Amino acid sequence: METETEAADLEAGRVLFAQTCDFLISAASFNQLPETELPEIAFAGRSNVGKSSLLNALTGRKNLARTSNTPGRTQQVNFFDLGGRMMLTDLPGYGYARAAKSVVDQWTRLIKSYLRGRVQLRRVCLLIDSRHGLKDTDREAMDLMDEAAVAYQIILTKCDKIKTAELEKLLAKTHKEIAKHVAAHPEIMVTSAFKSKGIEEMRAALASLADKPAG
């Protein structure tokens, strides 16, 4: 049964993500990153992990983050202002071989400089496809965030695509692995943008990191 505290958290999440969410800027280099004091939540993950779909589901918009049929199309950090209370940042997808090495190197430099130099970054939501689990490229990203002392949380996506027993095994395996990482949040969130599963809970968790409403 839902407690009063849980209900209040869910309501805070609903209110936050009901705010206008406006695209601010795309940054291709560190010096293009916007100067803002709003707390930032970054969304990272392998190409085609479902970042755009999750961002659209969280904000209740269909085309906030453009969904592309070609993974790796987004090569910049995209910033979205959520009601003047939080900045959502969509990081370039990684682990997609079709991109030229020079482009991949440029992405890597941008992400490293963003993680290490962005003091307002409160958390990275690291998206993992439930069907595949953690891959080596995900582990490299986790190591990078451990080194940068940036808090991150594993978000399992597309949970509607696997059976409950498989999901439980994946959760147990992933919990065991993240226990070795100093910057990893202990709670793993399970989501499906298609089925709207875990979306309310994720909104509530992120609302706790946002600036308080004016007044």
Domain ranges of the chain: 4-207
154-212 pLDDT tens trace:
999 999 999 999 999 999 999 999 999 999 999 999 999 999 999 999 999 999 999 98
CATH 1.10.760.10 fits 4-207, yes or no: no
pLDDT tens digit sequence for 28-64 = 888 889 999 999 999 999 988 999 899 999 999 887 7
Q: Are 170 and 137 in contact (CB under 8 A)?
A: no
Q: Do residues 44 and 141 touch, judged by C-beta distance below 8 A?
A: yes
> Residue 66 — very low, low, confident or very high, per pLDDT cuts 50/70/90?
low
Concatenating the DSSP letter of every residue in the chain gives: ---HHHHHHHHHHHHHHTS-EEEEEEESSGGGS----S-EEEEEEBTTSSHHHHHHHHHT-SSSS---SSTT---SEEEEEETTTEEEEEPPPB--TTS-HHHHHHHHHHHHHHHHH-TTEEEEEEEEETTT---HHHHHHHHHHHHHT--EEEEEE-GGGS-HHHHHHHHHHHHHHHTT-TTB-SPPEE-BTTTTBTHHHHHHHHHTTSPPPP-
CB 32 within 8 A of CB 25: yes
Angstrom distance (rounded) from CA 169 to CA 202: 22
Phi, psi for residue 66 in degrees, rounded to 5: -60, 125
Residue carrying the six token digits 């689990």: 133
Task: Give the chain's mean pLDDT.
Answer: 89
| pLDDT category of residue 215 using cuts at 50, 70 and 90 | low
